[in-house]
Each structure stands twice: as C-alpha cells, then as structure tokens.
Structure 1
Amino acid sequence: MLKKICIFLFVVLISVVAKAQSADSVYSRYLDFNLARFQGETEKLLGLGEAILPAADKLPEKTRINFYFAIGQVYENNDQPQKALGYYEKVAAAVPDYYVVHRGIGYIYLAQAKEIKDKLNASSDAGLTEKLKGDYETAARKALPHLEKAQACDPSDETLDEIKSLYQNLKDTEGLNTLNVRLKELSKHCIDLLEDK
C-alpha cells in the first residue's frame, strides 16, 4: 500500500513539474517573439507567434492578452485581417477601454464594408444587390462602435470622416446627430497601453 502511494505521489509530482516546465517554455517562446518584434525581424514573427498559439493559454492572463494583440498585428501586417480580427476581438473583450485594438477592429470591418460597397456599385442583379446591401449594413454597423471608441480616445480627421461617411451611407441621421455625445462619453475611459504583468 505504501509503495502504491509513493508511486502515485511520484506520478503527480512529475506531472506538476512537466506542467510548470511547459508554462516556462511557452513564456520563453513569448519572450523570443517579443524580442523579434522589437528588433524588427518581421520575417520570423509569424512562425514564432504561431508556435505559441496552441499553448497561449499557459501564459499569464495579461501576457496572453498582450500576445493576442501582437499576433493580431502580425496577421494584419501579413494581409490576413480575418485572422487578426479574432485575436483583436479577444483583446477588446478583455480590455474594453484599450482603444488601439478598437481602431484595428474598426478598420478591418471598414475595409470589408468598402469592399462590399464596391461590389454593390458594380452589381446589376437585383437579388444580389439586396443581399449586398444587408452585408454592407452588417459590416458598417460592426465597424462603427470600434471606430467611435478609437475616435473618442485618439481623435483623427480621417477616422471621423469614415464614421460620418458610414452613417451617411446607412442613412442613419440619428446616429450621426448623436455622434458627438457618444464620443464625449466614450472619451472618459481610454487605455493606450496594455500591461503584460
């Protein structure tokens, strides 16, 4: 009986040590990823980041959120906005006042809306036109709250023009007329840097 207990405790101890080493290994890979980022080694970033993704849940929470934002930027810079979007949305859910991620999300949805609008303008098929109008509205409505948060925290003429254009295209005069009130309220809580510890 004592022998079985000793074996059981040994197995538990080995699994705890293995898990700790695994977490240390993931954090070490995260440090390598960050070093490559800061040294501008863009050709390495995607591979380093994707190697971390399967075990990202082993990173401490704030570090994981910071990593998700960074890998989102890597995907966005590599013309993979749909992959970036998923990680940006995780960051926005965890740190809703981090306006930088909202700008990224907003511009990804804005690009989708513009692409749909181009198809809409080129379409002569009535059925397709109606579908594209719905798709455009969906993309525009997804872009607006993110662009507004970014605009509230870091005003930009370009972003403001895009917001106004979306409301005009949607024929949403109420949204346009109440924009300044929303921007003022959103500007009360802005975070411009993520903590990783």
Structure 2
Amino acid sequence: MKIKSILLATLLLGSTVAFAQKGELNKAKSKYSSFATLTGGAVENVPELAMKELGEAKEAIDKAATHEKTKDLPETWTYLALINSEYAMINQKSGKAAEGEASYKAAGDAFLKAKSLNEGSDDKELKGNMDRAGSLLANYEIGNGVKAFETNDFASAYTAFNNGLKYMPGDSILTLYAGIAAQNNQQYDDAISKFKTLIPKSSDAYLNLSDAYLKKGDTASAVKYIDEAATKFPDSAKIINQKIVLNITTGNSEKVIKDIESQMAADPSNGELPFFLGYAYESTKQPDKALEAYKKGIEAKPDDARNYGAAAAIILNKARDIYNAASSIPTNKEAEYKAKLQEAYTLADTAVPYLEKATTLDPKTKGYWENMRFYYQLKGDEAKTKEITDKLNAL
C-alpha cells in the first residue's frame, strides 16, 4: 500500500510538472501576444513595457524548450524562433550588433528545427508565426547586406542576401539584391542566375540581367534581353534608354531608330519615345532629325524638361558652328563677317524659349544652365553670364 501510494504520488508529481511546463509554453505565447499588441509589429523604439513582456516570453519559452514533455513540440520551437528573431531585429536596429547576432543564431537554429517539426502541418497559427519569424530573419540579413553594400563589401552583401533567402525562399527583393551584390562583386554567373528567376515580371531584373551579360562580355545576350525587356515594358524609360545605348554601341543604330519609329506610329501619345528617338538620331549625327523628334516630344509631353533642353542644345551647337565659321572670315570682308555673326545670333535666340522652359521645369540640372550661360557668352552679355555662373555655383 505504501509503495502504491508513493507511486501514485510520483505520478501526480509528474503530471504536475508536465502541466507546469506546458504552462510555460502557454505563458510564452501569452506574453508574446501582449508584446505584439504593444508594438504593432514594430522593431524600433519598442516601449519598455513591451520589452518586459518579450523578456518574460523568452524566459518561459527557454524553459519549455528544455523540458522532456515540451521540447519536441512544433509550437515550442516556432515560438523559440519567433521570440529570438524579434530580439535579433530589435538589437540590430538599436546598434547592439553582438547581441543581435547571438539572437539571430538562436532564432535561425530554432527556425530550422521548427520547420522540420511543422512539416506536413496545416496549422494556420503555426504557419503565421513561422512566416513572421522568417520575415524577421530575412530582414535581419537585409540589414546586414545593405550595411555591407554601403561599404562596398559586395561579397558579404551577397552572402547576407543569400542567407535571407533561406527564410523567405523566392522573395523578389532579396533575389534582386543578391543579384545586384553579385554583379558588383563581378560574380556575373551568380548575378545572371538570380536575375533570370525574376524575369519576365521585373523590369529591374531585365536591366541588371542585360548589364551583367554586357560586363561579362556577352554583348549578344545583353542586346537580346534588353530587346525582350522593351517588348515587355514599352513604357519604361530606363529600358528604352538602355536599349538605345546598347544597340548604338553595338552598331545597330539604324535598327533601333526603326524600332522606335514603329513604336511611335503604334503609340503616338507616348511621351517618352520622341526623346529617345532624338537621342538615337543625335548618336548617328543627324541633328536636324533629332531636333524634329524633340519638338514632337514637347508636343506629346510638354512638362518634360529633357526635350526642351535637348532641342536647345542642338540649336546652340549649330549657332556655335556658324559663329566659328564667322571667325575664319578674312578681316577685309567685314560685311560678310557681320552677316555671319548675325546669323549665329539669330539662330541662338531661337534656343532661349527652350532653355527658359527647361530651367523652369528642372532648375537643378546644371546642363541647362550651362547652355544658357553659353548663349549669353555667345552674345557677349557679361552681366547675364556672371548671373548664371553664380546660379551654377549655388547648385
């Protein structure tokens, strides 16, 4: 009888301990819920009361993670990952690098174990908590990656962004960042691999993919992907610009001009295309056609400073050539000299309305002011020249 009583007492004690340890898990959940409510998901400027709740949640989950009855529960490891990942981000944001790294490692280890234990589960609460933990861990690596990128440590940045993908597989931001870091570190094959997973949906991926091929020395692939990008994103100014530059530098100027003209015919209201057509014509030394293109751009998109500035530049270049031609006229041909100068001045005057519009729409672009100064230098107006020089110095 005494033995049975002892056994019963032991069993009851065991049940009490198991309940107590399950209670620690429940306490961790309750305290974390309170923390989440107080912060609203924020990881910066966390209130003191919220940090107290998080601290108690961590103390409770650490106990649950070591007890025989709860150490293998998916919930335990999910909350262990979740709570430590919160600490990792909070420490990182507050500049506590060592503490952040320790919390990140603990969270990462717990995350992997929780992922294994959760395999096949359709528990929505667990999935939501795993998603939150994964997002926090991925953002921790984004923080590391951005910091490394800013110091030109592209190898470390690539490693960080790649690590982030362990927690958020296929995330487009992390994939793009990893590709850009690899590209800057001259790991072109790695960069190309990352960017290819993002096309055809991402215009940024296309731009970087084309550039990676170009830097690798594969010009044909660079042109191929930028041409493909232009069909996918016909309204992207960056893509159209890169397409023009690439095709011109590879000797395909005529092709790109025909392509743009075809696009303009199909979409006459597109305000971007005339500017790029003008640029293409300028690159092939056809200034008159370029000027007409810029004028069309002004009609299609009257608030775009680029067309006004480009039109003015072409006119001033012509005026400069006439002015220089006047300088070569012999001194015994005064009338011819003056007529040539007047021709240059009259032509230059027609650039002023374009320059005024360009500097009004975009007063911070130095090139427009430099061309305005050139106009007044050409006219010999020293006061206006000085006034604009002062503007330029202030920019």
Q: The TM-score by the shorter chain falls in which range? A: 0.5 to 0.7
Q: Name the SS for the 1:41 alignment partner.
A: helix
Alignment counterpart, residue 31 of structure 1, candidates 231, 249, 256: 231
Q: Tell me how far apart the structure 2 counterparts of residues 156 and 68 of structure 1 sit (CA, whole Å).
A: 20
Pairwise CA distance, 1:137: 1.4
Determine the structure 2 residue equivalent to 1:62. Answer: 269
Q: Residues of 1 paired with 2:241 and 2:336: CA distance?
A: 43
d(CA) in 1 for partners of 2:254, 2:380:
41
Taking the aligned partners of 1:149 and 1:122, their CA distance within structure 2 comes to: 33
Q: 2:379 aligns with which of 170, 189, 192?
A: 170
Cα distance in 2 between the residues matched to 1:67 and 1:36: 8
Q: Is the 8 A contact 1:36 1:44 kept in 2?
A: no
* Residue deviations 1:19-52 (CA, integer Å, cap 9, x gap): xxxxxxxxx9x839x6785352222242242366
The yes-or-no answer on 1:160 pairing with 2:360 is no
Conserved 8 A contact 2:322-2:343: yes
Q: 1:66–1:116: structure 2 CA closer, same or farther, 3 Å change rule?
A: same
Residue 316 of structure 2 corresponds to residue 101 of structure 1: no
Is 1:137 matched up with 2:336? no
Structure 1 segments of 4+ aligned residues over 4 angstroms from their partners: 34-37, 171-174
Farther off after superposition, 132-141 or 100-109: 132-141
1:138 Cα deviation from its structure 2 partner: 2.1
Report the count of equivalent residues.
Answer: 149
Percent sequence identity is: 20
TM (normalized to structure 1)?
0.59
The whole-number CA distance in structure 1 between the counterparts of 2:299 and 2:285 is 23
Are 2:254 and 1:46 aligned?
Answer: yes
Q: After TM superposition, give the deviation of residue 76 of structure 1 in Å.
A: 0.8
Q: State the distance in 2 between where 1:70 and 1:131 align.
A: 35
Corresponding residue for residue 284 of structure 2: 78
Deviations 1:113-154 (A, max 9, x none): 111111112212223223212211122112222223333314
Query: Structure 1 residue 106: deviation in Å?
Result: 1.1
Gaps of 5+ in 2: 1-227
Q: How does 1:8-23 map to 2 (within 5 A)?
A: none
State how far apart, in whole Å, the 1-side matches of 2:256 and 2:318 are. 28
Question: Which residue is equivalent to 1:188?
Answer: none
Q: 1:106 touches 1:146 (CA, 8 Å); kept in 2? A: yes
Q: Identify the structure with bigger relative contact order (alpha carbons < 8 Å, sequence gap 6+).
A: 1
Evaluate the alpha carbon distance shift between residue 46 and residue 141 of structure 1 in structure 2; reply closer, same or farther with a 3 A threshold. same
Name whichever of 70-79 and 138-147 sits farther off.
Answer: 138-147
CA distance in 1, matches of 2:261, 2:375: 35
- CA RMSD after TM alignment: 3.5
Contact 2:308 2:358 in 1 (8 A): yes
Which residue does 1:15 correspond to in 2?
Answer: none
Distance 1:55 1:157 in 2: 31
After alignment, is 101-110 or 133-142 more displaced?
133-142
Q: With structure 2 as the length reference, what TM-score do the two structures score?
A: 0.32
Letter in 1 for 2:242: F
Q: Distance in 1 between matches of 2:308 and 2:240?
A: 25
